[in-house]
Amino acid sequence: RDEWRRFTLSAADIALINPNTRTCPIFRSRRDAELTKVVYRRVPVLVNERTEANPWGVSFLRMFDMSGDSGLFQTAPGEGLLPLYEGKMFMPYDHRFDNVVITENIGRPGQAEGTSLADHQNPRFSPCPRFWVETSEVATRIPRGYKYKWVIGFKNVTAPTNERTFLSTIFPMAGFGNSIPLMFPLGVQNAQVYACLFVNLASFIFDFTARQKMGNVNLNFFIVNQLPVLPPATYSDELLAFIVPRVLELTYTAWDVQPFAQDVLREQGSGVRGQGSEEPITHYPSPITPYVWDEARRFLLRCELDALYFHLYGISRDDAAYILDTFPIVRRKDEQQHGEYRTRRVILEMYDEMSAGVAAYVTRLDPPPGDARAAHPASE
């Protein structure tokens, strides 16, 4: 009797939304179903197995099985060893979210311990894992043709009722347990465009669509393949000039991901172009040293990127507001800390400001001045 929860899907709708499996997605309301169809009419799936369309040339890897490969793991760091990341250790734009500590809990001996603000602001801090693994073992598992010393990984255990559902980040090259599948876009040999793929995966609009596909807690590859991802051709010079400086500043906060910053700047040439059509193209400060972790600034940078991706996905302002309302834990935390749903308000304000186009958008943040990173030494 509740029309809000009653909707119709045709065979064509199911084929549009899940072209590989032709299975019925899970919707919680009529509006969720209609919004998802709008997205899929505009944005292709990551990998269409029926048409063999794979614009990113993406392949997946589960590097180490925590049970089957346990004989390869060391319990102390040493020469020639890399840390073994587990899903609990990261969040979007933060590969240093948690340490792993060993407890007396026999069932779950490796427990997460949050990283402090002081540690986040220390560019030499790396999270402590449970295990380490030989560098040579990692090297043998990397796909042939992949040239970078950093990777994109995501959590494979999640739920649509969590604060966020699709959780990914950029990692330094390391070992990865099966709880962090890796994504290799082998069809795109450009670090800047590759970085844009990660920003897409971290956006609220992408997360919203992922939630419509989660029937259990396992984010399997067949689900990821059928999620709507903007193709590489989306990223014009104008968009790269907007996105890349922001993802650099959000990601490059520690020395261990310096290869990512170096690759992005090397492939661009002499620096990432600044934003603003009425000003001459300028060079963004080259991140010789990591950026300082600044919570307030990071919040605004992420809001700018989320506002942009709502536009890129063709989402109206009313629908963007509705989508943000489907993240109740984000709302609750904001209201507890700030007395309002701050994330929603700021993203929608930025959405409005961007309505005339990225070039006309006046950023709330100037590029960080050269002395913004003076607290860090000039060399590692």
Q: Which DSSP string corresponds to 298-367?
A: HHHHHHHHHHHHHHHTT--HHHHHHHHHT-HHHHHHHHHHHSS-HHHHHHHHHHHHTTT-GGG---SSPP
Residues of the chain above pLDDT 70, percent: 88
Per-residue pLDDT, averaged over 57-83, amounts to 95
Q: Could you give the 3-state DSSP secondary structure of residue 23?
A: coil
* Alpha-carbon distance values, 208 to 62, 82, 114, 179, 294 (Å): 25, 34, 26, 21, 27
pLDDT of residue 55 exceeding 80, the answer is yes
At residue 326 the predicted structure's pLDDT band, cuts being 50, 70 and 90, is very high
At residue 105 the predicted structure's pLDDT band, cuts being 50, 70 and 90, is low
Instruction: Give the pairing type, strands 110-114 and 168-172.
Output: unpaired
Per-residue pLDDT, averaged over 228-247, amounts to 94
Per-residue pLDDT, averaged over 62-90, amounts to 94
Structure tokens at 251: 């990601």
Q: What is the pLDDT of residue 357?
A: 86
Separation of alpha carbons 139 and 175, rounded Å: 9
pLDDT of residue 215 exceeding 90, the answer is no
Q: What is the pLDDT of residue 73?
A: 96
- Around Cβ 167, how many Cβ atoms within 10 Å? 24
pLDDT of residue 248 exceeding 90, the answer is yes
**Which of 178-187, 301-310, 339-348, 366-375 is the least confident region?**
366-375
Dump pLDDT digits (tens) for 251-279.
Answer: 999 999 999 999 998 876 434 333 333 33
User: 90, 78, 109, 110: which is closest to 176 by C-alpha?
Assistant: 90
Per-residue pLDDT, averaged over 310-328, amounts to 97
Q: Are 73 and 177 in contact, with CB atoms under 8 Å apart?
A: no
pLDDT of residue 369 exceeding 80, the answer is no
Alpha-carbon dihedral angle through residues 9, 13, 15, 16, given to the nearest 10 degrees: -150
**To the nearest whole number, what is the mean pLDDT of the chain?**
88
Q: Are 82 and 174 in contact, with CB atoms under 8 Å apart?
A: yes
Following DSSP, what letter does each residue of 170-226 receive, concatenated? Answer: EEES-EEBTTS-EEEETT---HHHHHHHHHHHTSHHHHHHHHTT-SSSB--HHHHHT
Q: Are 221 and 183 in contact, with CB atoms under 8 Å apart?
A: no
Q: What is the pLDDT of residue 217?
A: 87
Burial 213-242 (b: 16+ CB within 10 A, else e): bbeeeebebebbbbbbbbebeebeeebbbb
Separation of alpha carbons 18 and 40, rounded Å: 9
pLDDT of residue 70 exceeding 90, the answer is yes
User: 266, 312, 309, 305: which is closest to 288 by C-alpha?
Assistant: 266
Number of residues assigned to the chain: 380
For residue 37, give the H/E element and its range: helix 30-42
- Around Cβ 108, how many Cβ atoms within 10 Å? 8
pLDDT of residue 57 exceeding 60, the answer is yes
Q: Are 206 and 308 in contact, with CB atoms under 8 Å apart?
A: no
pLDDT of residue 84 exceeding 80, the answer is yes
pLDDT of residue 284 exceeding 70, the answer is no
pLDDT of residue 370 exceeding 60, the answer is no
Instruction: Give the pairing type, strands 98-102 and 168-172.
Output: unpaired
Per-residue pLDDT, averaged over 198-210, amounts to 97
142 burial via Cβ count (<10 Å: 0-12, 13-18, 19+): middle
Q: Residue 88 has what DSSP assignment?
A: G
Please enumerate in sequence order all residues whose Cβ is within 8 A of that of 5, keeping only pairs 6 or more positions apart, or say none.
28, 29, 30
pLDDT of residue 138 exceeding 50, the answer is yes
Per-residue pLDDT, averaged over 197-216, amounts to 95
**Which of 3-12, 179-188, 329-338 is the least confident region?**
3-12
The pTM assigned to this predicted structure is: 0.89
